[in-house]
Structure 1
Amino acid sequence: MQFHVLAVDDSVIDRKLIERLLKTSSYQVTVVDSGVKALEYLGGSCNYPNNMQEVEVNLIITDYCMPGINGYDLLRKIKESTTLKNIPVVIMSSENIPSRINNCLEQGAEEFFLKPVKQSDVNKLKPHLMRGKGKENQPNFVVNKRKPMAECLSPDRIRTKYNYI
């Protein structure tokens, strides 16, 4: 069985690197370039019945520093969601800031990797992916794809690194 990882990073180079490392480890990979697009892919928190499509995601790996919804905010939104909260989340960052790392781990991140991510880091993902696997090898998490998250968030709820509300 192949595990599906959603990789989120605004840097093209870092996205390509993590995608290559994950595919080398035989994971199915979907890459997006923002927290907003990750939430859109996952279905976010909108409850619209149209455009439903099942999407299996076993783990999310996200950059910390991104415009719009950063990795920490993405982690919080996932952990606050009743439908997404059990998806393991891994944060990655090029900045080694202990308070940032602790905050992410306290909010429910499984791991915090320093960039550049290495194959040895990717090897640490397997235990988190195996968590919750049933006897029937059913997917860990199936979420519904819904309307784009941008339609669900009012502009005053979206944070950027330039706009702290």
Structure 2
Amino acid sequence: MAVAAEEAQFHVLAVDDSLIDRKLIERLLKSSSSCQVTTVDSGSKALQMLGLREDEESTSPVPADKNKIEVNLVMTDYCMPGMTGYDLLKKIKGSSSLKNIPVVIMSSENVPSRTTRCLEGGAEEFFLKPIKLSDMTRLTPYLPKGKLQDQQRESSNDNNYSNKSKDFCLRRQGRDSPVIA
């Protein structure tokens, strides 16, 4: 029971201006790690969810505890109107209370200088869209220990069983089928 409570506490904030991409990210995260996922459509809403607000006079976020949620990982699109994913990354890493939260940047554009800039700016990973289930394995270090690895092992076992079943059926089919010459 304690394990289930621990897993339920792991929370990912997914930030993307595209509804389709938000839904895809949410589905992939839930299927690969069974974590709680909250989605928002902008960097400024993400800051609000994290308990920060943008101060128009300053580049650093100002605490605003109202509506704050506890988040263990942030996944954000790079290119969004208003605040970019890189801007959000800098605000998170510039906050003393949030700087240790891992941030993953996603983009549909493969621009090496952008990738380098984000990784040097503190992003743990940079994913190219569309995000795939196989990309989720790169999140293993940031997810609850064992959960994703256990699921990968189960998936591998299921695939092995499935392949063995297919082989058995095909062999059987070959033996039982009349040979046409």
Q: TM-score, normalised by structure 2?
A: 0.67
Residue matched to 2:76: 62
Equivalent positions of 1:111-150 (< 5 A) are: 111-130=125-144
What is the root-mean-square deviation of aligned Cα atoms in Å?
1.6
Return the match for 1:75 from 49, 70, 89: 89
Tell me which of 6, 9, 12 is aligned to 2:19.
12
Runs of 4+ residues deviating >6 angstroms = none
**By percentage of residues, which structure has more helix?**
2
Q: Distance in 2 between matches of 1:93 and 1:57?
A: 21
Give the count of matched residue pairs: 129
SS at match of 2:143: helix
Gaps spanning 5+ residues in structure 1: where?
132-165
**Gap regions ≥5 residues in structure 2:** 1-5, 53-60, 146-181
- In the alignment, the residues of structure 1 paired with residue 70 and residue 25 of structure 2 have an alpha-carbon distance, to the nearest angstrom, of 19
1:103, 1:89 → 2: CA distance?
13
SS in structure 1 at match of 2:89: helix
Larger Rg: 2
Percent identity between the two aligned chains: 68
**Would the alpha carbon gap of residues 14 and 99 (structure 1) be closer, same or farther in structure 2, given more than 3 Å must change?**
same
Q: In the alignment, is the contact (CA less than 8 A) between 1:110 and 1:128 conserved in 2?
A: no
Aligned-partner SS, 2:37 = strand
| Aligned twin of 1:98 | 112
Q: Is the 8 A contact 1:93 1:115 kept in 2?
A: yes
